[in-house]
Amino acid sequence: MTLLPIRGVRHLRRFQQIAQILVRHGFGELVDLLGAVPPISSRLLRRRVITGTPQRLRMALEELGPTFVKLGQVLSTRPDLLPPPYIAELAKLQDTVPPAPWEPVRAQLEAELGAPMEEVFATFDPEPLAAASLAQVHAATLPDGPEVVVKVQRPNVEAVISVDLDILADGARLLQERTPLGEIYDLPGIVEEFTATLRAELDFYREGHNADRFRENFADEPYLYIPRVYWEYTTRRVLVLERIRGIKIDDIAALDAAGYDRHRIGLHAARMIIKEVLEDGFFHADPHPGNFVIMPGEVIGAMDFGMVGYLSHRLRADLIRLYVATVQLDEEAIVDQFIRMGIVGGAVDRVGLQRDIGRLLRKYQGLPLKAIRAREIVEEAMPLAFRHRLRVPSDLWLLGKTLGMMEGVGLKLAPDFDIFTVSRPYVRKFMREMASPRAWGPSVLRGMGDWVQLMEMLPRTGMQLLARAERGELEVALRHQGLDRALVYLDRLANRLSLSLLLAALIVGLALLVPAFHLAERGGFVTALVIFGFALAALLGLWLVISILRSGRR
């Protein structure tokens, strides 16, 4: 058995642990495919379960630890990689774990801040407010009085994640080589993208800058409040934020008791996500209810800026065109837009894709926009994406999940919540910007520069080519792909045709010899020779028929 390349002794031990968990949850064949270390192959693979299920996969990832929990959460936003049952199950992954012991956390804090706890904070609660796989959050007070929350990375989590990422990279490379998945997906590229995302999430400097960027984007919007980052206490492993208090956004009873207008809060939430997507191209990608509170004045307070999504201006313009084609129920235009966006591969069944999109659109034909739910559209598009292997950018799936979560919050606040109605003025504004010279002018100017450069080079380059052609120095080389195979096939056809003609001539000639020499009435050598010729022709003809039938089956 080929063994999985392991980078060091600690990697070998961790791989054995990963393999044992996978086998226990029914994924022994995967371990066997990758190549297991001998203790696993001899002891556990004999009692492996044949097939894993979505539920077993979720439980295995939870048991494997923070790296694999994060991997499952990322995969739950990629229905182009996994079938819908697995997507639905991985969406249930919970990133909540028991808190780490206080003493190692305290040592981590003091090492990062470079001072004893008592010198940095006036008060600090050792009991965390929340604990996740990568970090936990504590309440504290600064010496000059402000209340803060301190997010501290779990001790040694980076070392564990680094080993797991090495093993994932090795596993992706082997799956790329040994399974048909490698012909469809760039598995090492997917793991590389996940590695970059996870390492960025471990950098709390980045999360603090995300918060500052959101605050800057919403500086003119009074309905959203972003807490302040205390940079003087923030490091790569410790983040100190202003503590904000309010009512959880989905606590309907408490909101009603406080006299808040739930419909207005829902509109604010919708405006927030639409502005993030269409105006800023930078959105909060984890909008579950625990990350938003309602503060006095019906202001939404946002928290946890570790997971964000990015949309370039070009991608936003593509989304608007896709939105227009969808509203017009034009499946052909949708497929054309998919092609322009690079979502559809060259081997896709365009007719089948167009038919499936048309079937999906007809379900909503005649319905007002307020009766259409973004979550339902995303969920129904997932099987289509998997069936046709659509290569949808991960940020777009993340956006679909974000819209669905925000829509769910809005519907809980107000049953008549309609995210499409809220988005309409933003869509119109973006379309006007797309049509304005300010939007397309720079690209036209860049193109004109290229044309000017081409016109400058064309006379000189053309004269050089003509001079080389006159001297006989200009050579044109043609390269063909797959022509050798076609030539071999044609050669076989010609040989088969020649043999058929020779057989036909032999049979006809022998048949003419029989009446010419009255061989039926005579015996001897000539008669035996003619009979032998007929037998030989029959055998060659039978061989030719069998050869043709076998080649037809291939």
Q: DSSP string spanning 229-268? A: B-GGG--SSEEEEE----EETT-HHHHHHTT--HHHHHHH
Residues 33 and 65 grouped into a single domain: yes
134 in a structural domain:
no
| Catalytic residue, candidates 166, 170, 286, 395 | 286
- Please give the single-letter amino acid code of residue 346: G
Q: Please give the residue range of the domain that contains residue 529.
A: 483-553
Residue partners of 370: CB distance under 8 A and separation at least 6: 416, 418, 420, 421
Q: Confirm whether 250 is a catalytic residue.
A: no
What is the pLDDT averaged over residues 487-516?
Answer: 70
Q: What is the pLDDT of residue 469?
A: 78
pLDDT at 302 over 90: yes
Pick from 170, 155, 127: which is nearest to 35 by CA?
170
30, containing H or E segment:
helix 28-34
Residues 512 and 460 grouped into a single domain: no
Residues 424 and 488 grouped into a single domain: no
- Please give the single-letter amino acid code of residue 359: R
Place of tokens 């080649």: 551
Residues 405 and 548 grouped into a single domain: no
What is the pLDDT averaged over residues 370-396?
Answer: 78
Q: What are phi and psi of 394, to 5 degrees?
A: -60, -35
C-alpha to C-alpha distance for 222 and 201, rounded to whole angstroms: 28
- Does 541 or 268 have the greater pLDDT score? 268
Q: How confident is the model at residue 9 (pLDDT cuts 50, 70, 90)?
A: very low
C-alpha to C-alpha distance for 270 and 427, rounded to whole angstroms: 13
169 in a structural domain:
yes
* 3-state SS record for 315-363: HHHHHHHHHHHHHCCCHHHHHHHHHHHCCCCCCCCHHHHHHHHHHHHHC
Residues 306 and 422 grouped into a single domain: yes
> Between vectors from CA 117 to CA 111 and to CA 118, what angle results, nearest 5°?
150
Residue partners of 162: CB distance under 8 A and separation at least 6: none
Cα distances from 494 to residues 144, 165, 549, in angstroms, run 94, 57, 17
Taking only the tens place, the pLDDT of each residue in 47-77 is: 444 455 889 899 999 889 889 998 988 888 7
Residues 456 and 503 grouped into a single domain: no
Q: How confident is the model at residue 224 (pLDDT cuts 50, 70, 90)?
A: very high
For residue 411, the tally of other CB atoms under 10 A from its CB is 16
Place of tokens 């469809």: 184
217 in a structural domain:
no
Helix ranges (DSSP H) in 35-81? 38-43, 54-64, 66-75
Taking only the tens place, the pLDDT of each residue in 237-290 is: 999 999 999 999 989 999 999 999 998 998 888 889 889 988 899 999 887 888
Q: What is the pLDDT of residue 78?
A: 78
Place of tokens 């001539």: 505
Taking only the tens place, the pLDDT of each residue in 117-150 is: 999 999 999 999 988 889 999 999 999 999 999 9
- Please give the single-letter amino acid code of residue 537: A
Q: What is the pLDDT of residue 50?
A: 46
Write out the two tokens for 473: 């120095």
Instruction: Indicate the average pLDDT of the chain.
Output: 81
Helix ranges (DSSP H) in 130-232? 157-178, 181-184, 187-201, 204-217
1 in a structural domain:
no
Place of tokens 């609660």: 125
Pick from 121, 95, 99, 117: which is nearest to 108 by CA?
117
Residues 31 and 174 grouped into a single domain: yes
> Between vectors from CA 401 to CA 162 and to CA 353, what angle results, nearest 5°?
105
Sign (positive or negative) of CA dihedral 404, 410, 412, 415:
negative
pTM exceeds cut of 0.85: no
Taking only the tens place, the pLDDT of each residue in 28-54 is: 777 776 665 444 444 554 444 445 588
Q: How confident is the model at residue 525 (pLDDT cuts 50, 70, 90)?
A: low
For residue 369, the tally of other CB atoms under 10 A from its CB is 13
DSSP E strand stretches across 56-153: 123-124, 130-131, 135-141, 147-153
Q: Which residues pair with 149 in a beta bridge?
A: 139, 241
C-alpha to C-alpha distance for 31 and 387, rounded to whole angstroms: 26
Judge whether 217 and 282 are in contact, CB under 8 Å.
Answer: yes
Residues 262 and 316 grouped into a single domain: yes
Which long-range CB contacts under 8 A does 111-117 form with residues at least 24 apart? 112/152, 112/235, 112/236, 112/237, 112/238, 113/233, 113/235, 113/238
Judge whether 280 and 218 are in contact, CB under 8 Å.
Answer: no
Residues 409 and 457 grouped into a single domain: no
Q: What is the DSSP letter of 291?
A: G
> Between vectors from CA 111 to CA 108 and to CA 114, what angle results, nearest 5°?
140
Residues 451 and 523 grouped into a single domain: no
Residue partners of 531: CB distance under 8 A and separation at least 6: none
Q: What is the pLDDT of residue 516?
A: 59
Taking only the tens place, the pLDDT of each residue in 445-457 is: 666 766 677 777 7
Q: What is the pLDDT of residue 8?
A: 46
Place of tokens 């100017």: 445
Sign (positive or negative) of CA dihedral 483, 487, 488, 490:
positive
C-alpha to C-alpha distance for 402 and 374, rounded to whole angstroms: 10
64 in a structural domain:
yes
Total structural domains within the chain: 4
Residues 393 and 492 grouped into a single domain: no
220 in a structural domain:
no
Judge whether 315 and 278 are in contact, CB under 8 Å.
Answer: no
Tally helices (H) and strands (E) across the chain.
23, 11
Residues 330 and 402 grouped into a single domain: yes
C-alpha to C-alpha distance for 93 and 87, rounded to whole angstroms: 10
Q: What is the pLDDT of residue 554?
A: 47
Judge whether 317 and 434 are in contact, CB under 8 Å.
Answer: yes
496 in a structural domain:
yes
Q: Work out the percent of the chain whose per-residue pLDDT is above 70.
A: 80
